[in-house]
Amino acid sequence: MTQNIYKNLPSVSEVLAAIPKEIQLHQRVLTTIIDGEIASFRQDIKFEKMTQSRQDIIRSIVNKIRRLSSPSMISLINGTGVVLHTGFGRAPQSGKVLRRVAKRLEGFVNLEFDLETGKRGERQHHLELLLRALTGAELGIMVNNNAAAVLLSLNTIAEGKEVVVSRGQQVEIGGSFRIPDIIAKSGCKMVEVGTTNRTHLADYESAITENTGLLLWVHTSNYIVEGFTKEVSLKELVDLGKRKNIPVMADLGSGALIDLHAQGLPADVPVHDVVDANVDIVTFSGDKLLGGPQAGLTIGKSSYLKRIFANPLYRAVRCDKMCVALMEETLRMVQSDGMEKDNLTHELLTVKVSTLRRRGERIIASLTKKRISALNIQIIDSHVEAGSGSLPVETLPSIALKFQPKTQKVTDLSRAFRKGNPPVVGYISERAFYVDLKAVLPKQISQFITRIKAITL
């Protein structure tokens, strides 16, 4: 019986003949997809799970090829309320900014060429002056993410030596980035001091030996410990490092180049204040509160930064021309009183609740009473997180649309929104589907309205 079912499987040539001519994919790509799909159906037969006819199988494979013939990374409507959403690429980028950068990158560029001297240049020079001016540091370099910045710095300064860090600062962030693991991979030995909730300066001092290479301070940017707590300030740690002639490094995680509190956001440790504390090396992300591309920024004392730059590992984690150009553009948007409006991350994080409510009312006003009733749509107050471990202590006020359809499962409604063009991704909670407006771009409101109107009642 099973042998007869195997005969239902089409050949590769049969499927190729059924593919529409408008689908332009390399023959090898098509063959690879078809082979994989046929193998999958063969497994279904083996486990008696297949019921499709030969034509059904061909149609299924062609439909998959049709989907794969379009780019897989596309723009979507972020209805989760999380602005710095790791799954959605963290810091969103303005089309206006991307177009400015793209115009400068067309053809060849002076990535590592000095136009003044006509000789070989260095890609970090495009960012060096901006990083120095905006942070007060002596020097700065950029690598492909903050994990790389931390790893490269530790390996350069303290390979084969001990790195002293408080137990209360051994953080883990998304993607299994753990401080103890990074220290181990950098070739250093971690020395824990203090307890989870209390660490004293004496704990650091008693842990210092002849083999101590670095004192590490980590900003616990994605959680807070309250109650009976004690931690050593950066100033105290820097003073200890100077007395013992041991460098001090601070990993800030998110990294705030502007006064967030003045912008109506929860306060975070300002990068400039850490530099002013005379810390030797400071690392932070470029794609979180700064609103730039994925990047890790390392700033600090010139003597240490030059050593980090000379580390052979630097070449493995350096950024390409597109990332460098986008970071330069991002840094140029930093103003004395905040960020330029073209910084989309900052615009979304600081948008007023009253503005979001007006957008919600506009959406409702564009729908028929029948649709509003069938989907049971309501405008509600909400609170969201900034995302990616940034500003975790306080939530941000927002506005959301709540859907409780009368004749449809919320899981089906959520899937219908995700499968549209553009996809709308919200969240389900307590038998309702929500689309938070915090991270929905202003120009996407009309698209969202169209998507709601397209939902089958």
Express each pLDDT in 144-178 by its tens digit. Answer: 999 999 999 999 999 999 999 999 888 776 556 78
Q: Which of 306, 322, 339 represents a domain boundary (last residue)?
A: 339
The helix (run of H) or strand (run of E) holding residue 280 is none
Angular region, 118: left φ>0, alpha ψ -120 to 50, beta rest: left
Same-domain status, 30 and 144 = no
> Phi then psi for 13, rounded to 5 degrees?
-65, -35
Cα(426)–Cα(80) distance, integer angstroms:
5
Same-domain status, 404 and 386 = yes
58 token code pair: 């061909």
* CATH number assigned to the domain comprising residue 131: 3.40.640.10
265, pLDDT greater than 60: yes
pLDDT at 226: 66
326 burial type by CB count under 10 A (0-12 exposed, 13-18 middle, 19+ buried) = buried
What is the domain range of residue 36? 2-68
Same-domain status, 49 and 173 = no
37 token code pair: 């799909």
60, pLDDT greater than 70: yes
Q: Which of 304, 339, 374 represents a domain boundary (last residue)?
A: 339
Same-domain status, 428 and 316 = no
Cα(260)–Cα(221) distance, integer angstroms:
14
* pLDDT confidence band for 280 (50 / 70 / 90): very high
Report the amino acid identity of residue 148: A
Same-domain status, 175 and 262 = yes
CB distance 83 to 349 below 8 Å: yes
pLDDT at 44: 79
Same-domain status, 133 and 197 = yes
Q: Which of 339, 372, 405 represents a domain boundary (last residue)?
A: 339
Same-domain status, 144 and 203 = yes
**Average pLDDT value for the chain:** 91
Cα(446)–Cα(84) distance, integer angstroms:
23
Same-domain status, 325 and 441 = no
Report the amino acid identity of residue 71: P
Nearest to 184 by CA among 175, 192, 195: 192
Q: What pTM was computed for the model?
A: 0.88
Give CA torsion, residues 391, 396, 400, 403, to 10 deg: 60
Same-domain status, 144 and 19 = no
pLDDT tens track for 200-243: 999 999 999 999 999 999 987 655 666 677 888 999 999 999 99
Which carries the bigger pLDDT value, residue 387 or residue 125? 125
Same-domain status, 328 and 387 = no
* CATH number assigned to the domain comprising residue 422: 3.90.1150.180
pLDDT at 386: 80
Half-sphere exposure of 394 (CA within 13 A, CB side): 11
Same-domain status, 106 and 235 = yes
Same-domain status, 363 and 333 = no
pLDDT at 271: 92
pLDDT at 168: 86
pLDDT at 1: 47
- For residue 139, the 8-state DSSP code is E
What is the number of domains present in the chain? 3
